[in-house]
Structure 1
Amino acid sequence: MLRRLSIMILAATLLTNSFVAQAGRIPKRKIRRMFKHLAIVNDHFTGFMLYDLDKGRSIFELNSNKYFTPASNTKLFTFYTCLNMLGDSIPGIKYSIEGDSLLFSGTGDPSFLHADLKGNNAFSFLKQQNKQLLFCTGNYQKEIFGAGWAWDDYNDYYQAEINNLPLYGNTVYFSADSSRNLSVTPAFFRSLLLRDTASKQSTFSIKRDLVSNRFYFLGAKPSSKYHQWVPFKTSDELTVKLLADTLKKPVYLSHMTLPANAKIIYNIKADSVYKLMLQTSDNFVAEQLLLVCSSVKYGYLNTDSVRQYAIDSLLNDLPDKPQWRDGSGLSRQNLFTPRSIIALLQKISAKVNDEKKLFGMLPNGGVSGTLRTAYNTDNGEPFVFAKTGSLSNNYNQSGYLVTRKGHRLAFSFMNNNYTDATHAVRDEMVRIMTLIHEKF
């Protein structure tokens, strides 16, 4: 494997030096030749499409009509759906006052008491009420995980459960201070933290029980730099307990249905939620946003309904019909083609209609998000603005590129089923996109 990787790097270096030595821009035939000789094209399944946004035409395509596992490139589909279905703010809760009671239900809003998003409007509203608080359940119609998710990732931060009223991102945050004392947020879960006496592990970590909210710590004591997010197991019963503990007042479950004219408390500006989803590739936020779309359109929370609506009404002009199974890309059942992603990128650009705003929400090569360490900037300026997507043996980038001559391009670069290290595949992609930026 090391020999093959060395050959890949040597071949890419020779090709790069050859192109840089030539004056002027890269003709399309040079891009074609570059891909023909690259090792990453020959040892796994690669798809690529480069599109000139200014001239409205394709520059180069490789397997652009073939279906690939998109991983978190899926979030671009979620993003476009939200742009069309949500306003400028995210609805936090729906409520209705009935006598001495305030009935409320969740909309799926991911920002409610979220550590980064800090959507506190709905919480403040409930805190100020002097009426009996009744949490109305029954509007969520799906499972806690998306279709095709790996069950054994339940303890990992990137696979938090999905529900109608998420609190704290549906995760518990464990961290240690300089004295190596452990902190638990929310503190509600501290009493559920137990030592795993059977473990011989020396490194400190925490693992939750599969079917309950018992958290077991392994190892003797955390380091001063220790921190870990662990998803908690959601339920309506836990929601009211956790909310009551945070509000410092009683909250009760109710099976009553909110009236059709229920009022809405908006929690946070939508752009800030989209930026977190895209830049950090937050799976939890992506999944919950589709629930918010469902709440707005249908009054109930069902992501299948939203995805089908988007496919039938918002994405029915894509070159190839997407197979879309979740909002985040955790599911390997998702299948999209590069040319459909290019069409989607055009639709996103037209919908936002503000290049600076759009590029600011996406990861910027060499500057922010999941591309911060992948690219170098050009004299301090990023030139790639794209969504990454990674699962084991799969790595993709799709987004926008601005060349030194000011050409605005869209690209989708997909790599599936490789066995080499992801960084080797990523580095080859970066070399190609950087060369296109410099010479096209």
Structure 2
Amino acid sequence: MRFVFLFLSVCLLLTGCSPTRQLTRDLRTNGQFTDHFTGFALYDPAGQKTLVAHNADKPFVPASNTKLVSFYAGLLHLPDSLPALRYVIRGDSLIFWGTGNPLLLHPDLPDSAAIRFLRSRPERLFFSAANYTGPRFGAGWAWDDYNDDYSCELAPLPLYGNFARFSFPDRRPDFTVQPALFADSTVLAPPTPPLRGARRDEIRNQFVRPPVGKLSRQDVPFRWSPELAAQLLSQQLNRPVGVVKTAQPRSALLLSGSTPTDSLYKRMLQISDNTLAEQILLMASAQLGDTLLTPRRIIALTDSVAFGKRSDIRWVDGSGLSRYNLFSPNSLIGLLRQLQATVPQARLFALLPAAGQSGTLRGLYKTDKPFIFAKSGSMSGVYNLSGYLVTRKGRVLLFSMMHNNFTGSVSEMRQRTARFLEQIHRKF
């Protein structure tokens, strides 16, 4: 009897110190997680069970974790080669519409298929933006972020990434700007008050620059318009491009781009590019047979596939810039399961940032063998990380850790998250 009692006591002790119980206790009692709103979910796909859950059904502001849903929307609706243009030929005229493709003349990931096509055509060229009637910013975006590179305008035909790139070689007074069209609308700022970087007028494409750039390079969003798009294309093609307001017919022909979708997904996920995420939704909407680019329809359709009828989410934009977005850790686990079932693991892990090696997670750990492949999301008072964790034993676990409503720094939350996930890597 004494032996049985001792055996049971040891079992209880071991159970009480199990990794799952320890993690749950930390989440509930450790001040690092109780001094703000913390949510966490850890899921084992092999055993098809949740290992740890803390506030896992509560909604959180996801920030750029939203890009995981945009990625999934692209996987569901976009072809292997991105759509470049829609066009019709009427007599001696070629009228074309954008598809939302953000890579035309992009300085870092250019797709030149549309330029080659338009340059080769004998017809007169006319651009119509009538297939997009949406706003320039997403719902809930901060209007005064208009000068920041993460807040480029939405458009049916983005050009140059919808930003002007200012370069200050060796931080000398001389500078270059791309597109070169903006050189004549850029003036030197007065010495006082000192200007840290180039700035644009809120309404017009008028820029001021500092005498010497604090950065060697700066990207400043420009105000997009159909007229500006035609002007930039005309300059690039060295031929006139007119502007019309012709509605896109369903019979419009499609020109495919030359960039594989994975190149777009990888850049969007790795550097957390907001413009690419938003334009993925516009492109995807065009694949549904609509003549209008309407991201709301894609959001509703993808929402139903990814999340079913969950009540703990609200998805309003592609990038996560909006604080109207709400996702729970469990809803993101469900999305990660969908991605895992859709994309082979090697391809999926290559697209996502790898902790210690690539993208926004390069500085999370110092390791030659990354064990976390995930998407982070941060803004003031928000830090989240959701993705896949490979344990020392080789198990692949799905996790979502969400921090909201803190007043400290994002870097501190990043470090807390890294320490917590390292325990899982070692103990599971």
TM-score class, shorter-chain normalisation, is over 0.9
CA–CA separation in structure 2 for the residues paired with 1:243 and 1:159? 23
Q: Taking structure 1 as reference, are residues 26 and 88 closer, same or farther at Cα in structure 2, changes over 3 Å only?
A: farther
Moved more, 109-118 or 31-40: 31-40
What does residue range 92-131 of structure 1 map to in structure 2 within 5 Å? 92-131=84-123
- For the residue of structure 2 that corresponds to 1:64, the secondary structure is coil
Counting aligned pairs with the same residue, the percent is: 42
CA–CA separation in structure 1 for the residues paired with 2:181 and 2:147? 18
Residue in 1 aligned with 2:285? 294
Question: Of residues 257, 267, 271 in structure 2, which corresponds to 1:276?
Answer: 267
Contact preservation (8 Å) 2:307, 2:334:
no
Q: Partner letter of residue 113 of structure 2?
A: N
Shift of 1:33: 2.2
Residue in 2 aligned with 1:340? 331
| Alignment deviations for residues 84-114 of structure 1 (CA, whole Å, 9 cap, x no partner) | 1111111011112222111110000011111
What does residue range 6-405 of structure 1 map to in structure 2 within 5 Å? 27-178=19-170, 179-197=172-190, 200-202=192-194, 204-218=196-210, 220-222=211-213, 226-267=216-257, 268-297=259-288, 298-312=290-304, 314-317=305-308, 319-352=310-343, 354-377=344-367, 380-405=368-393
Residue in 1 aligned with 2:10? none
Contact preservation (8 Å) 1:109, 1:165:
yes
- For the residue of structure 1 that corresponds to 2:198, the secondary structure is strand
Shift of 1:162: 0.4
CA–CA separation in structure 2 for the residues paired with 1:406 and 1:287? 35
CA–CA separation in structure 1 for the residues paired with 2:312 and 2:40? 18
| Alignment deviations for residues 220-278 of structure 1 (CA, whole Å, 9 cap, x no partner) | 2236x521000000111111111111111100011223432222121221111011111
- For the residue of structure 2 that corresponds to 1:55, the secondary structure is coil
Residue in 2 aligned with 1:6? none
Shift of 1:129: 1.5
Moved more, 32-41 or 140-149: 32-41
Root mean square deviation of aligned Cα? 1.6
Q: Taking structure 1 as reference, are residues 238 and 155 closer, same or farther at Cα in structure 2, changes over 3 Å only?
A: same
Q: Partner letter of residue 361 of structure 2?
A: L
Contact preservation (8 Å) 2:27, 2:34:
no
Shift of 1:137: 2.2
- For the residue of structure 2 that corresponds to 1:29, the secondary structure is helix
CA–CA separation in structure 2 for the residues paired with 1:114 and 1:93? 15
CA–CA separation in structure 1 for the residues paired with 2:34 and 2:264? 39
- For the residue of structure 1 that corresponds to 2:360, the secondary structure is helix
Q: Partner letter of residue 349 of structure 1?
A: Q
Q: Partner letter of residue 364 of structure 1?
A: A
Contact preservation (8 Å) 2:189, 2:195:
no
CA–CA separation in structure 2 for the residues paired with 1:160 and 1:300? 21
Shift of 1:422: 1.4
Residue in 1 aligned with 2:419? 431
CA–CA separation in structure 2 for the residues paired with 1:214 and 1:336? 39
CA–CA separation in structure 2 for the residues paired with 1:431 and 1:315? 30
- For the residue of structure 1 that corresponds to 2:269, the secondary structure is helix
Q: Partner letter of residue 252 of structure 2?
A: A
Contact preservation (8 Å) 1:318, 1:343:
no
Residue in 2 aligned with 1:7? none
CA–CA separation in structure 1 for the residues paired with 2:414 and 2:397? 19
CA–CA separation in structure 1 for the residues paired with 2:302 and 2:45? 24
| Alignment deviations for residues 108-157 of structure 1 (CA, whole Å, 9 cap, x no partner) | 00111111221111111111122100112211021000000000000000
CA–CA separation in structure 2 for the residues paired with 1:390 and 1:318? 26
- For the residue of structure 1 that corresponds to 2:193, the secondary structure is coil
Q: Partner letter of residue 183 of structure 1?
A: T
Q: Partner letter of residue 157 of structure 1?
A: D
- TM-score (norm: length of structure 1): 0.90
- For the residue of structure 2 that corresponds to 1:205, the secondary structure is coil
Contact preservation (8 Å) 2:59, 2:312:
no
CA–CA separation in structure 1 for the residues paired with 2:37 and 2:145? 26
Contact preservation (8 Å) 2:58, 2:312:
no
- For the residue of structure 1 that corresponds to 2:400, the secondary structure is strand
CA–CA separation in structure 1 for the residues paired with 2:395 and 2:26? 20
CA–CA separation in structure 2 for the residues paired with 1:321 and 1:427? 27
Q: Taking structure 1 as reference, are residues 48 and 74 closer, same or farther at Cα in structure 2, changes over 3 Å only?
A: same
CA–CA separation in structure 2 for the residues paired with 1:52 and 1:426? 23
Contact preservation (8 Å) 1:103, 1:258:
no
Structure 2: gaps of 5 or more residues:
1-13
Structure 1: gaps of 5 or more residues:
1-21
